[in-house]
Amino acid sequence: MLENSDSIINPTVFIGSLELREPVTAITDFMIAITCGIAVWMLSTNRQERSDTFNYYRGFFFMYAIGMTAAAWIGHGLQAYFGPEWKMLGWFCSMTGQAFLVMASLGDLKRSISIPIQKVIIGLLIVQFVVFGILIINPETRGFQVPQTASVLVLAGFVIPLQIMNYLQNKSTGSLLIITAIVFGLLPGYVYNNQISVSRWFNYHDISHLLVVVYMIIMIFAIRRLAFKSGNLSDELN
């Protein structure tokens, strides 16, 4: 395990006069965005009958595609040309994507949860978003730990309970896959927080990004079960 210092960051490379920082980290981050973009394309071009929560599930991938693109190039690759405050763009996109995932999860249970309880859940989600949004905007509290903590709270506090309920009530394979994906998502968090690295050219950023790609692939299979009324995976590549 390497220490968290300049010695662990990808060396800067120059392409002519263009300064490219953390190139492997930027590329692996962009791989997450590409995976999410492919998910948006797959959902949008699928000819099956869409569920009521389709747009929320697609919005989850769409916002992550934008957020991870911003993180890859503004937060890493081209950071020499952007101030650190620009990282907020990727963080807010990711938080919005997670909010869409909560709304989709809630929508799948709208016949099982009373309207007052639905309003309470939505209210708590809004409060969570506003609180962490303020922490991100405030320069004194801004940092990657803020959106990371927000992600844990949303997934553990909202998404997992709702998806567990959907699985228990409807035996939804999609919900079971989402729960599986979130549990798997602990692995990239563990790698990142413990700074598990191989070298400067394959550090904990890069490893965790590739693991998030796997997480997103599992989410694609999960959401394909939930975003369409048939829940049929047979035309996955159509």
pLDDT at 164: 97
pLDDT at 84: 87
- Per the domain annotation, does 237 fall within a domain? no
- Per the domain annotation, does 138 fall within a domain? yes
- Per the domain annotation, does 235 fall within a domain? no
Cα–Cα distance for residue pair 230/49, rounded to 1 Å: 7
Output b/e per residue, 185-198; b: 16+ Cβ within 10 A: beebeebbeebebe
The average pLDDT across 170-182 equals: 95
pLDDT at 135: 97
The mean of the pLDDT values for the chain is 92
- Per the domain annotation, does 1 fall within a domain? no
Cα–Cα distance for residue pair 238/228, rounded to 1 Å: 14
The average pLDDT across 141-151 equals: 94
- Per the domain annotation, does 74 fall within a domain? yes
Residue 204 has pLDDT above 80, yes or no: yes
Residue 5 has pLDDT above 70, yes or no: no
For residue 132, CA distances in Å to 95, 208, 220 come to 9, 23, 27
Q: What is the DSSP string of 108-167?
A: TTTTTS-HHHHHHHHHHHHHHHHHHHHHHHSTTT-STHHHHHHHHHHIIIIIHHHHHHHH
- In sequence order, what are the beta bridge partners of 13? 20
For residue 19, CA distances in Å to 9, 15, 78, 125 come to 15, 7, 7, 40
pTM for this prediction: 0.91
Residue 164: domain span: 16-226
For the four alpha carbons of 199, 205, 206 and 208, in that order, the dihedral sign comes to positive
**Strand runs labelled E in 18-88:** 18-20
Cα–Cα distance for residue pair 238/213, rounded to 1 Å: 21
For residue 177, CA distances in Å to 54, 61, 109, 181, 203 come to 17, 16, 17, 6, 28
- HSE, CB side, 13 Å, CA atoms: give it for residue 204: 18
- Let me know: does 45 contact 236? Beta carbons within 8 Å: no
- Per the domain annotation, does 3 fall within a domain? no
For residue 118, CA distances in Å to 54, 61, 111, 155 come to 18, 23, 10, 17
- Per the domain annotation, does 152 fall within a domain? yes
pLDDT at 231: 63
Domain count, the chain: 1
- Per the domain annotation, does 107 fall within a domain? yes
CATH assignment of the domain containing 75: 1.20.1070
